[in-house]
Amino acid sequence: MPIPSVPPENPRPAAASSALVVESRVGLRELNTFGLPAVAQHLVRVRSAADVRRLVDDPAWGRAPKFILGGGSNVVFTRDVEPLVVKVEVMGRRLVEATETAWIVEAGAGENWHGFVQWTLEQGWPGLENLALIPGTVGAAPVQNIGAYGVELKDRFESLEAVDLVTGRSVVLDAAACRFGYRDSAFKQHLAGKSLITRVRLRLPRPWWPVLGYLDLERKVAETGITNPDSRTLFDWVCVIRRAKLPDPAMLGNAGSFFKNPVVSAEQCRDIIGRDPEVVHYPLPDGSVKLAAGWLIDACGWKGKTVGGAGVHDRQALVLVNRGGATGGEVVTLARAIQESVYGRFGIRLEPEPVVM
Ligand code: EPU
């Protein structure tokens, strides 16, 4: 598929261009939300598309294998990282355009996602409230097409700017080119390690309407009697719901949901319901059925179990946590044991959500 290219940013005068600074032996514990110990043999910070181009053009590092690191909220480090770690620190956020049908907003890939959501609401541009409190950066949001409470990033996506790590050219990708799927995109598939996202543009539809429909939000409607919440109320509800079941990575290291919710055929689902009538399941438009992985893991008795410093969260079995001093190896051992037991009981293979390095 041809990818339209955009004109490069105004070239900076040679004197102003900063040289490439590659740091050696950088500890990654503070740079991943699981708090796992690992060392990057080499790490470089990029603050603009021009920095990325400089890296691509560099005779020593341009062709080196690279690992792109955002907020470190979707990665499990099991060993020291040999590829060059490229830490994305492109900042800035702005309103690009306000039309009658949408606010188009843009943020640098290094901006904190939740901070960006809060900022758009403060500015009076609602639309991202269901995606509050998701850990990580703006640049990581399209990579796994983050989603929560009935909204996925793809539903608010306009375009993104990325730099091709082979040619150094800036490209603009639309939603079709990003190939969004459930917790998936081209950046986890054929563009993995080949393209670095520098800026993301979102389209927030006008007029705004609340996306309810999700069970936890319907419960809030019933509890409060507010049937038509404004965006701030919805934001507050999402924050309360998430804080009640998902651990704050600043307090207890984790990477959000550790497994994707598996999709099975209607026949397989009927078979499971026959044996376990309470299985939480959601029929999909194509006739297949999505099962709640958290329920499957819970049903196998994993809540609160540990392997070394790694454990299964007490309030949400889908989340693995670092109870203190966990290694990536322990997280992976625990994850494999969970996969085996869920497979043994339900015949379903759970697929991890984070990248295991
Ligand atoms: N459940 C249990 N026991 C558990 C966990 C869940 O019985 O230990 C049941 C719940 O009672 C509920 C069902 O399973 O009926 C689903 O749980 P929940 O509503 O918490 O959502 P989820 O499927 O666990 C997904 C996303 C989350 C997102 C929420 C809300 C995935 C893998 N996870 O979780 O995303 O925030 O829905 O939309 O799709 C993430 O990707 O990191 C993430 C946190």
The domain total for the chain is 3
Is residue 353 part of the annotated active site? The answer reads yes
Domain assignment present for 277:
yes
Domain assignment present for 33:
yes
Domain assignment present for 122:
yes
**What is the CB < 6 Å shell around ligand 1?**
148-149, 245-246, 256-257, 260-261, 280, 292, 294-295, 298, 303, 316-318, 353
Domain CATH for 60: 3.30.43.10
126 with 47, same domain: the answer is no
Of 69, 88, 107, the domain-final residue: 88
Domain CATH for 137: 3.30.465.10
For residue 64, the model assigns a pLDDT of 94
Give tens-digit pLDDT for 311-330.
999 999 999 999 999 999 99
196 with 284, same domain: the answer is no
Q: Pick the residue with more confidence: 10 or 161?
A: 161
Identify which of 245, 257, 276, 315 to mutate to test ligand 1's pocket (most ligand atoms within 8 A of the CB). Answer: 257
119 with 74, same domain: the answer is no
Residue span of the structural domain in which 58 resides: 15-88
Domain assignment present for 100:
yes
Catalytic pick among 106, 152, 161, 353? 353
Of 181, 205, 229, the domain-final residue: 205
312 with 327, same domain: the answer is yes
Domain CATH for 266: 3.90.78.10
314 with 330, same domain: the answer is yes
Domain assignment present for 245:
no
pTM of the model: 0.91
For residue 6, the model assigns a pLDDT of 44
342 with 262, same domain: the answer is yes
Domain assignment present for 227:
no
80 with 100, same domain: the answer is no
Is residue 24 part of the annotated active site? The answer reads no
Of 88, 109, 127, the domain-final residue: 88
Percent of the chain with pLDDT over 70: 95
Give tens-digit pLDDT for 207-224.
999 999 888 999 999 999
Q: And the tokens for 305? A: 């179990």
Domain assignment present for 338:
yes
